Amino acid sequence: MIPARYAASRFPGKLMQDLGGKTVILRTYQAALETGLFDRVFVVTDSNIIFNEIKNNGGDVIRSIKDHDCGSDRIAEAVEDMDVDIVVNVQGDEPFTNKEGLEEVLGVFYKEDAHRIDLASLMTEITDWKEISDPNCVKVIVDKNNFALYFSRSPIPFPRDKNTGVKYYKHKGIYAFRKDALMDFYRLPMRKLEAAEKIECIRYLEYGKNIKMAETTSQGIEIDTPEDLARAKKLISEEAESPLVNDTFKNFPMVPKVVFGKGCFNQLETILSPQRKSKAPFIYIVDDVFKDNSGLINRIPLKFNDKLIFVSTNEEPKTSQVDEMVSLIKKEYMHIPSGIIGIGGGSILDLAKAVSIMLTNNGSAADYQGWDLVKNKAVYHVGIPTISGTGAEVSRTCVLTGPDKKLGINSDFTPFDQVILDPDLTIGVPCNQWFYTGMDCYIHCIESLNGTFLNAFSQSYGEKAFDLCKEIFFEGNCNEAESRAKLMMASWHGGMSIAYSQVGVAHALSYGLAYVLGTKHGIGNCIVFGHLEEFYPEGVRMFKEMVKKHDIVLPKEICKDLTETQMETMIDIALGLEPLWENAIGENWKETITRKKLRDLYLKM
Ligand SMILES: [Fe+2]
């Protein structure tokens, strides 16, 4: 909860001041969201201006009904009817709120003496006497277990003896309350010490509550004065000039929860119920091939105002489609959904990921196509594949066709929070579909294992997936239960393998086909791959054997009627995927991969 009052005695309107292109309050809101520590983040305000600022930027904001003297009262009113255990009060004027400090303050509720804690707050050591003696800076003293003894604007303790090595701590205005303690506070009248010092948390001490102080080293800047604002602006412009770059090694998120096994789909309700937020629905995005499949649809645990959206996957997912779905959901519901659940193949899973991201990020999905452009944590999202091979259930991307490119939204917030792998859900997939999507996995392995980005991490996943693919497509067939379970695991491992390396030539060319002709990913890869002996001789040889074994007939001459513009666009799209080429060929790929070469390849397809 971010209490935000427009009038501030020392610096009126400070929360609406511009700070590097965004208002202070919006920056604070986004910083709190970005920590990823909270189920929900709200601004609570008495002001129309602040209300509209957050609302217009797609944020969650609550209007105070009553007048309040302090931030705690304001958030108490807002959470009174919410079902919450811990409420964190983040100051609206702390645009540099960071994860570390909030993690510290939340962490105290998981320690031994947690039962003694009514609320927790944060302090940071200060050493400059000017700051120690500044009445704008609230100091705190603590007992040996870091419970607060007193807060004051005076320097405490008074340093009569200057050689005791006593430390001074500045109180930072971040609180984590048990809801009961917060509601108590709301009901208890102010007493004299609080009134004299004008420090809210003294009220808790006056009523005998225990405040646990966590220590942080991060200083941040509170915007209390115009000078603070100037310092903050400087900090932001410095950050923009010299971003901290130390990303030699990829630091990837993984799907935190996965359940596997025949029939595990029935566990969906148990999995979802702790994630349900009152009044906020679960939205199911389901492949419309299941529209008449009551066997599956009846097992979806629809409750309250949950919603099923059937989506056709005749075409690859588009950014415009994501934008439309997000705006429909926002129009229909007052609350951001409790979760988005995708049930289907790679396209549906990618749509579910994209929608969950766009519910908490402004603008169009097209703005986020690329690497690490997503700012805010996505809504809780669950992936339930009903066909295996794409690796979409485990990947850090969701591939979308946008107005000018086909590219994934690749970010730390993209991967699912939960995946449900039930091999029974893939029963009934047509055999050619099974083959095309399975080959996507096979091609992931070939491209990863033959790429220059290969490393032991990605190799270990790629080799396992490759072996599974061989077992499935040389020894098994599309209707076997064992093949279904194996392909589910192959898809997962293949997805992991490319996450830690990259795909290659087949994907680059197939993205071109998809963009210009709308060719779907699985079949597009198959069309391309048969012509890539030059890049993957052994992989292509095996691929052709598998095509034969399963009597697959692939389309031919699909590029022969392309207009010149279409061909040029296709080449542009393929060449634009630089990391793929760099993985496949190496740093100097531009020497051999020419426009002419791609044209010749496309003309063969
Ligand atoms: Fe793929």
Tens digits of per-residue pLDDT, 68-121?
A: 767 778 888 889 888 898 999 888 888 887 777 888 888 888 888 888 999 999
Q: Could you read off the pLDDT of 215-239 as tens digits, one per residue?
A: 887 766 778 788 888 888 888 777 6
Mean pLDDT of the chain: 91
Q: Is 520 helix (H, G, I), strand (E, B) or coil?
A: coil
Ligand 1: centre distance to CA 583 (Å): 15
The pLDDT value given to residue 235: 80
Task: Find the mean pLDDT for residues 539-559.
Answer: 95
Least Cα distance to 379 among 420, 322, 313, 301 occurs for 322
Ligand 1: centre distance to CA 441 (Å): 7
Q: Cα(292)–Cα(216) distance, rounded to whole angstroms?
A: 56
Ligand 1: centre distance to CA 401 (Å): 14
Specify burial of residue 204 (Cβ count, 10 A radius: 0-12, 13-18, 19+): buried
Ligand 1: centre distance to CA 506 (Å): 9
Task: Find the mean pLDDT for residues 569-582.
Answer: 94
Q: Is 36 helix (H, G, I), strand (E, B) or coil?
A: coil
Kindly indicate the confidence band of residue 242, based on its pLDDT and cuts at 50, 70 and 90. low
The pLDDT value given to residue 335: 84
Ligand 1: centre distance to CA 478 (Å): 20
Instruction: Mention every residue, 6+ apart, whose C-beta is less than 8 A from residue 456.
Output: none
Residue count of the chain: 605
Residue 43 has pLDDT above 70, yes or no: yes
Ligand 1: centre distance to CA 444 (Å): 6
Ligand 1: centre distance to CA 89 (Å): 44
Helix or strand run (H / E) with residue 493:
helix 481-499
Q: Is 587 helix (H, G, I), strand (E, B) or coil?
A: coil
Q: Could you read off the pLDDT of 18-33 as tens digits, one per residue?
A: 888 889 999 999 988 8
Ligand 1: centre distance to CA 260 (Å): 22
Ligand 1: centre distance to CA 346 (Å): 9
Ligand 1: centre distance to CA 406 (Å): 13
Ligand 1: centre distance to CA 564 (Å): 27
Least Cα distance to 224 among 92, 331, 120, 127 occurs for 92
Ligand 1: centre distance to CA 508 (Å): 10
Q: Could you read off the pLDDT of 353-391 as tens digits, one per residue?
A: 999 999 999 889 999 999 889 988 999 999 999 999 999
Q: Cα(114)–Cα(137) distance, rounded to whole angstroms?
A: 28
Inter-residue contact 145 to 136 (CB < 8 Å): no
Backbone dihedral region of 67: left (phi > 0), alpha (psi from -120 to 50 degrees) or beta? beta
Ligand 1: centre distance to CA 324 (Å): 25
Query: What stretches of 430-578 adopt beta strand conformation (E)?
Result: none
Query: What stretches of 34-189 adopt beta strand conformation (E)?
Result: 43-45, 61-63, 86-89, 119-126, 139-142, 148-152, 168-178
Residue 581: C-alpha distances to residues 102, 364, 399, 573 (Å): 42, 28, 18, 12
Ligand 1: centre distance to CA 446 (Å): 11
β 282-287/307-311 pair status: parallel
Ligand 1: centre distance to CA 279 (Å): 37
Ligand 1: centre distance to CA 426 (Å): 18
Ligand 1: centre distance to CA 500 (Å): 14
Ligand 1: centre distance to CA 16 (Å): 45
The reported pTM is 0.63
Inter-residue contact 360 to 336 (CB < 8 Å): yes
Ligand 1: centre distance to CA 440 (Å): 5
